[in-house]
Structure 1
Amino acid sequence: MSDYIKTLSRHRRLTILRFLADSPEYTSNASILEEVCNKFGVTSNRDQIVTDLEWLREQGFVSYDGKGDFVVVTATARGVEIAEGKTRHDGVQRPRPGL
């Protein structure tokens, strides 16, 4: 995996976690997350979103229920801590202060 792809994945994961942290009940779905990532300049397709959601789940940062093409995702307390910069993980971009 190239450095650019790794960097993009780290940013995508942070974008996902930050959006979930600001969402009602810390929940959203994969389609909305794809749109959000693209809106914020983190170029993403559905496969990349689902791949990063699986990675985030393996790390304990999100939980989700996959029902075919519709995936509902919820941030865990640990995922919110990552999104807020209270804790770090090498696989997720650290947020800048004040954001």
Structure 2
Amino acid sequence: MNTAEQIVTVDRRRAILAALMVAPSYMMPARGLREQIALVGYAVSLDRLATDCAWLAEQGLIAWQNDVATLGDRGADVVLGRAQVPGVKRPEPGQLQ
């Protein structure tokens, strides 16, 4: 069974991918990314965001260098529901981003 923290974590990771999906050049610096996910309810520290981004990079979903996140092809597939990765929430039916 998932704990509340796990549920929030998998959804927050998807929110990061979704923010990158609509960003210019599919990339965004950490501070801008933090502001974007705060708009959907995830007010996090830069440390928490960096940890999530490092995890997403380990999964091959984004590139994370010098506090800049860049969406990868696999990350785009996950955010659009074409691929699944344990630890990232799947989109709801009809949810494009």
Query: Considering the TM-score relative to the shorter chain, is it more than 0.5?
Result: yes
User: How does the TM-score come out when normalised to structure 1?
Assistant: 0.87
The runs of at least 4 consecutive aligned structure 1 residues that moved more than 3 Å come to none
Structure 1 gap ranges (5+):
none
- Match of 2:80? 84
User: How does the TM-score come out when normalised to structure 2?
Assistant: 0.89
How many aligned positions are there? 94
Task: Provide the C-alpha distance between the structure 2 equivalents of 1:93 and 1:82, rounded to a whole number of angstroms.
Answer: 9
Task: Provide the C-alpha distance between the structure 2 equivalents of 1:51 and 1:75, rounded to a whole number of angstroms.
Answer: 16
Structure 2 gap ranges (5+):
none
8 Å CA contact retained: 2:19, 2:37: no
Post-superposition offset of 1:36? 1.4
- Match of 2:89? 93
Please identify, of 38-47 and 19-28, the stretch whose mean Cα deviation from structure 2 is larger: 38-47
Task: Provide the C-alpha distance between the structure 1 equivalents of 2:32 and 2:45, rounded to a whole number of angstroms.
Answer: 11
State the secondary structure of the residue aligned to 2:64: strand
**CA offset digits 1:34-59 (Å, max 9, x no partner):** 11121101232211100000000000
State the secondary structure of the residue aligned to 2:41: coil
Task: Provide the C-alpha distance between the structure 2 equivalents of 1:35 and 1:24, rounded to a whole number of angstroms.
Answer: 15
Task: Provide the C-alpha distance between the structure 2 equivalents of 1:97 and 1:33, rounded to a whole number of angstroms.
Answer: 25
Percent of aligned pairs with the same amino acid: 32
Task: Provide the C-alpha distance between the structure 2 equivalents of 1:43 and 1:27, rounded to a whole number of angstroms.
Answer: 20
Cα root mean square deviation, aligned: 1.3
Q: Which amino acid aligns with 2:22?
A: D
Structure with greater contact order relative to length (CA < 8 Å, sep ≥ 6)? 1
8 Å CA contact retained: 2:21, 2:76: yes
Asked if 1:4 is matched to 2:4, the reply is: yes
